Amino acid sequence: MAKQAVLSKGIASHSGWRDYYELTKPRVVMLLLLTALVGMCLATPSWLEPQILIAGMLGIGMLSSSAAVVNHVVDHKIDSVMARTFNRPVARGKVSPRRALAFALVLAIVGFFVLAVYVNMLTAWLTLASLVGYAFIYTMYLKRATPQNIVIGGLAGATPPLLGWTAVTGEIHAYGLLLVLIVFTWTPPHFWALAIHREKDYAKANIPMLPNTHGIAFTKTCVLLYTVLLCLVCALPYLVGMSGGIYLMGSSILNAWFVYMACKLKFFPSKTTAMDTFKFSILHLMLLFVLLLLDHYL
Ligand code: HEM
Ligand SMILES: CC(C)=CCC/C(C)=C/CC/C(C)=C/COP(=O)(O)OP(=O)(O)O
């Protein structure tokens, strides 16, 4: 036991800034921030105030990063048994759970302070609620409790466009909620495509992900159905007059491609189709939000 403690302390002392950076899930946070930025831009017909833009992005980014760090700490045991995640800094013992938690706490306190002082209280509280939703409700409870974990937990990851919106206006608007609905509906095909590819990993870690509890065929049907639902939800910004022709054209192409990928996954998959669908889901959401932005300004 003592030897193990010395060993893990020894490894922990070799941690560098790169490990702390990795703990924040930087690429996920980048995409979250893009959706927050688009929420900000769409909330006003004029240019953004630099203070709201900078403090909003910083605060939302820090609280999202903090949530990601807590996820690494809470999940370090299951991460260490899955091939996809065994090399993560806390799972490998490169950063101790104590240090990671201290890092998460600093990020959360500074992020909340930045939002509360330089943006507004509504955004600060909503962002903190998203942190609690992801780091505690999803990671600590839902993930291990039900195969609907990511559907319910997805709400926490879907809030950034609304956070961007409230940062600019100080109030919750139906258009901001519509953007949340898009990310919320996008999350199941995004994650289940990966879970199909990594089914064995989740079985090994004893996590009740849909492919393990209900089978791969059923999960593929769910991916397809959610992708069709996503097409309908993505039409709403045009139908309610929030976005125009550029968005409609571009999003239709993106959605048609997503449905094609989901059909391929269900009816004529190759070995790489699940992973290709997962990768495409990220490109899909990124381009969809870029389109919303282009449509807003052109
Ligand atoms: C509860 C909801 C979600 C779940 C369960 C989920 C799950 C995952 C998983 C397991 C990965 C693989 C990570 C890795 O291999 O290290 C991933 C990657 C990713 N996710 Fe999600 N995700 C969710 C929501 C979101 C949201 C809302 C966004 C952004 C708006 C997002 C953006 C990304 C990106 C950009 C990656 C690629 C990361 C990389 O290449 O390192 N995800 N997601
Ligand atoms: C304040 C705010 C907006 C908070 C949300 C923060 C956040 C990082 C959301 C992303 C969701 C995500 C990557 C889930 C994967 O977790 P997982 O544990 O299922 O996946 P893993 O096995 O890759 O860790």
Question: How is 205-232 classified by DSSP, letter by letter?
Answer: TT---HHHHH-HHHHHHHHHHHHHHHHH
Spatial contact of 297 and 38, defined as CB atoms under 8 Å apart? no
Residue 171, Cβ density class (10 Å: 0-12 exposed, 13-18 middle, ≥19 buried) = exposed
Name the percent of the chain lying above pLDDT 90: 94
What gap in Å lies between CA 30 and CA 139, rounded to an integer? 20
Asked casually if ipTM beats, i.e. exceeds, 0.90, the reply is: yes
pLDDT tens, residue by residue, 150-197: 999 999 999 999 999 999 999 999 999 999 999 999 999 999 999 999
pLDDT tens, residue by residue, 23-78: 999 999 999 999 999 999 999 999 999 999 999 999 999 999 999 999 999 999 99
Q: How many angstroms does the Cα of residue 142 sit away from the middle of ligand 2?
A: 13
What predicted TM-score, i.e. pTM, was given to this entire model?
0.93
Residue nearest to atom 23 of ligand 2 (CA): 85
Closest ligand relative to 68 C-alpha: 2
Write down the pLDDT at residue 182.
Answer: 98
- Local structure of residue 52 (DSSP, 8 states): H
What gap in Å lies between CA 17 and CA 100, rounded to an integer? 12
Specify the ligand 2 atom closest to the Cα of 127: 1
Specify the ligand 1 atom closest to the Cα of 25: 41
Ligand 1: lining residues by beta carbon, under 6 Å? 27-28, 31-32, 35, 84, 138, 150, 153-154, 157-158, 183, 187, 190-191, 194, 282, 285
Pocket flag, ligand 2, residue 207 (CB < 6 Å): no
Pocket flag, ligand 2, residue 201 (CB < 6 Å): no
Closest ligand relative to 185 C-alpha: 1
Pocket flag, ligand 2, residue 24 (CB < 6 Å): no
Is the pLDDT at 11 greater than 50? The verdict is no
Spatial contact of 176 and 166, defined as CB atoms under 8 Å apart? yes
Specify the ligand 2 atom closest to the Cα of 60: 1
Write down the pLDDT at residue 15.
Answer: 76
pLDDT tens, residue by residue, 232-281: 999 999 999 999 999 999 999 999 999 999 999 999 999 999 999 999 99
- Local structure of residue 94 (DSSP, 8 states): S
Pocket flag, ligand 2, residue 123 (CB < 6 Å): no
What gap in Å lies between CA 260 and CA 96, rounded to an integer? 44
Specify the ligand 2 atom closest to the Cα of 79: 22
